[in-house]
Structure 1
Amino acid sequence: MITIIAAAAENDALGKDNDLVWHLPNDFKRFKSLTTNHYIIMGRKTFESFPKPLPNRTHIIITRQEDYIVPEGCFTTNSLNKAISICPKDKETFIIGGGQIYKQSMELADKIELTRVHTEVEADTFFPKIDDQNWELTESIFHPKDENHQFDFTYLTYIRK
């Protein structure tokens, strides 16, 4: 199963200048719990936004740079299809960004785990529109803003129809 996982604002904003535009600790915990011990696929810029590889996950980085050096335990490839082919077929694989990789993966994914952040922000990277003809919302869990979360947000799970 291929799952897209992202956090996007009401205007589909993902980030700006290769960084997130909010800090939501509970969303980080959810991301960690869902992706730990799985393969994660990302673009080079997303990978470079991390201070180091995320623990207990196999990283596959999509890049056009043939000589791109990655730490041990990480892999590179030059296309989304090749990245998916590296992943075990019997385990869930996560697409974790960025915007272009999300756009390419919308036709290939089986599930979307989207954290909808209830604000609109300025951004340079956006999540693609979710077409209701292709996706069914199967779960929605609201989280109000609090002392640790600047914005209200909702965990949304979509399954391909």
Structure 2
Amino acid sequence: MLSIITAINQNYVIGRDNQLIWHIPEDLKRFKKITLGKTIVMGRKTFESLPKVLPDRKHIVVTRDENYSTSDNRVTVIHSIKDILKYKDSPEEVFIVGGEQIYKQLLPYCSKLYLTEIMSYENGDTYFPEFNKADYEIIEYEKHYDNYIKYNFLTLEKKFFRNNGL
């Protein structure tokens, strides 16, 4: 099963200058809790923005650069988004963690969205694709207010997947 995890604001902004805009410790803890022991999929720029390979997770990096490689055995480099689609029918939950183009290409195939919805209208240069929230059922909702930032943890499940047992 493919799932997405990301933090977005009310304008669907997810980043600026290849970095996260917000530093919310509880969001980072939630990301770790949800993705630990799982496979995470990201584009090359997202991978390069990480301070290091995240522990206890298998990394799949998608890039069109045929010469791109890494020596870390926890990282698999692939060159086609089609290679990720094999996970949509897998019992294992595989997480799409960014960036913009990867989200845009894989959103239609994801059954769950783990969102941190930040109550702000800050500008950025990287966006999550707009989607119809009516296509999803809220299965988790938590309000938070930390360090002058209001945010919500949302887990959304695509109604099509739930209603059809997929």
Question: What TM-score do the two structures reach when normalised by structure 2?
Answer: 0.89
Measured at CA, do residues 159 and 139 of structure 1 come closer, stay the same or move farther in structure 2, by a change above 3 Å?
same
Where structure 1 has 5 or more consecutive residues not aligned to the other structure, the ranges are none
Aligned partner of 1:153 in structure 2 is: 151
1:140 touches 1:155 (CA, 8 Å); kept in 2?
A: yes
Give unmatched runs, 5+ long, in structure 2: 160-166
Q: Deviations over 1:21-42 (max 9, x none)?
A: 1110000000000001000000
Other structure's SS at 1:19 match: coil
Q: Give how far 1:134 is off.
A: 2.2
Equivalent residue number for residue 163 of structure 2: none
Aligned residues: 158
After superposition, residues 1-161 of structure 1 pair within 5 angstroms as 1-70=1-70, 71-85=72-86, 89-145=90-146, 149-161=147-159
CA distance in 2, matches of 1:127, 1:62: 17
Structure 1 residues 87, 139: closer, same or farther in 2, change over 3 A? Answer: closer
- CA offset at residue 99 of structure 1? 0.8
Is the CA contact 2:88–2:110 (under 8 Å) kept in the aligned structure 1? Answer: no
Letter in 2 for 1:156: L
Q: Tell me which amino acid in the other structure corresponds to 1:6.
A: T
